[in-house]
Amino acid sequence: MIRFKHIAAAALITFSSFSAFAQGEKNNWYFGKGAGIIFENGTPTATSSRLFTEEGSSSLSDKDGNLLLYTNGITVWNREHKVMPNGNGLMGGKSSTQSALILPKPGSETIYYIFTTDIQAQSNGLRYSVVDMSKDNGNGDIVTRNNFVIAPATEKLTAVRHSNGRDWWVLAHRWNSNGYMAYLVDAEGVATQPVMSMVGIVHGGPNRKAIGYLVPSPDGTRLAAALWNDDSSFEILKFDRSTGKISDPVHLKGFSQAYGVAFSPDGSKVYGTVNNGEMNKAQIVQFDLRAGSADAIAKSAVVVGTSGSPSLGALQVGPDGKIYVARKDNYYLGVINKPNATGKASEYVDNGFHLGKQKSDLGLPNFPQGLSRPRIN
């Protein structure tokens, strides 16, 4: 009977993962040096765009996979790849790790928020702009820009769906602090005060230490962060989707120039990119969260891929369940074909996806957890 329950739970997880991949909100990716990918029925096809960025970007489509908008945190383009009215001058940084994040406003079918982060904890900090997609014949218009949230903050920016299935937690990190911030976003707008969690190590010192991704697990109950510098590390933490509190940090030390991070689709593995400060030493490391204790998770670290590129950047799960890996200044993305598998059975391919005539840089599009709109009863 116990075994049956385990099988049923596994089946539920598999079904939930499949359902998530079947949604179209993440079907259009724009990133790097005019690069892009369109996923149709789970199959990726290279395309191009107007967007150029060294690192962060964000894009959003409707549930049927039709493009709505995309941005590098400075300029916003509409579905026709034209700059939106008032779509210039956002205060993100094109060399900020997670320079932008697009969120639909709870309770609205037409209003979207674009959150932005400045480069390396500079004075523009964390801000948000508001898009009304009902304007400009349905192509969208920026109706307010650069609303101040907090400064200084690191380049980390993500969001998790609230446990109520409707609202959001926007997550960021204070600079020169161990404070994670969770801002509630609901039908009333963006909260002015965050839920603060003073947990884990201090993100501070030389400004380059503000670099690195923050991402949620597929179910939103865990977070993983990369802390970039010459002797850097990863953090894995628990997240309470009801309260916004972050707890139980696991510190994974000694991974120089840690940058990208991603969970496997089943949530059992964490992958990180490590650049080591040396030519042709960029690697992908896997951690097994099922190993048990914090020490066991640290000891589970295994290099699953070494790149021909000197620098690896973002990791992002695609609608096809594979993890795509940004290779700086390259016509190819790396691909982890079986990210739920342990060790090298995950099958990393360095020249995994050809971008055509465009090149990748360090970033891939930033998406929130739980993006698919909840069903309105």
Is the predicted pLDDT of residue 279 greater than 80, yes or no? no
Average pLDDT over residues 8-20: 37
In a domain, 359, yes or no: no
Is 377 contained in some domain? no
Residue 38, in any domain of the structure:
yes
What pLDDT is stored for residue 94 in this prediction?
83
> Quick check: is 278 in a domain?
yes
CATH code of residue 240: 2.120.10.30
Residue 239's nearest CA partner among 162, 347, 296, 148 is 162
pLDDT of 263 reads 98
Domain range holding 217?
A: 24-354
For the ranges 6-20, 190-204, 217-231, the one whose mean pLDDT is highest? 190-204
Token output for 4: 């049956």
166-212: pLDDT as tens digits: 999 999 999 999 999 999 999 999 999 999 999 999 999 888 889 99
Residue 4 covered by a domain: no
Q: What is the pLDDT of residue 337?
A: 98
Q: How many Cβ atoms sit within 10 Å of the Cβ of residue 254?
A: 12
pTM above 0.85, yes or no: yes
For 35-58, write each residue's pLDDT tens digit: 999 999 889 999 999 999 999 999
- Average pLDDT (211-233) is 92
361 within a domain of the structure (yes/no): no
* Structural domain contains residue 235: yes
Amino acid at 284: I
Q: What is the β-pairing status of strands 332-336 and 100-104?
A: unpaired
Please give the tally of structural domains in the chain: 1
Residue 347 has pLDDT above 60, yes or no: yes
Digit-coded pLDDT (tens) for 103-142: 999 999 999 999 999 999 999 999 999 999 999 999 999 9
Q: Where are the beta strands (DSSP E) in 41-125?
A: 43-52, 58-61, 67-71, 76-78, 100-104, 111-117
Whether 323 is in a domain gets the answer yes
Full DSSP string of 198-255: EEEEEE-SSGGGG-S-EEE-TTSSEEEEEE-STT-EEEEEEE-TTT--EEEEEEE---
Task: Indicate whether 317 pLDDT > 90.
Answer: yes
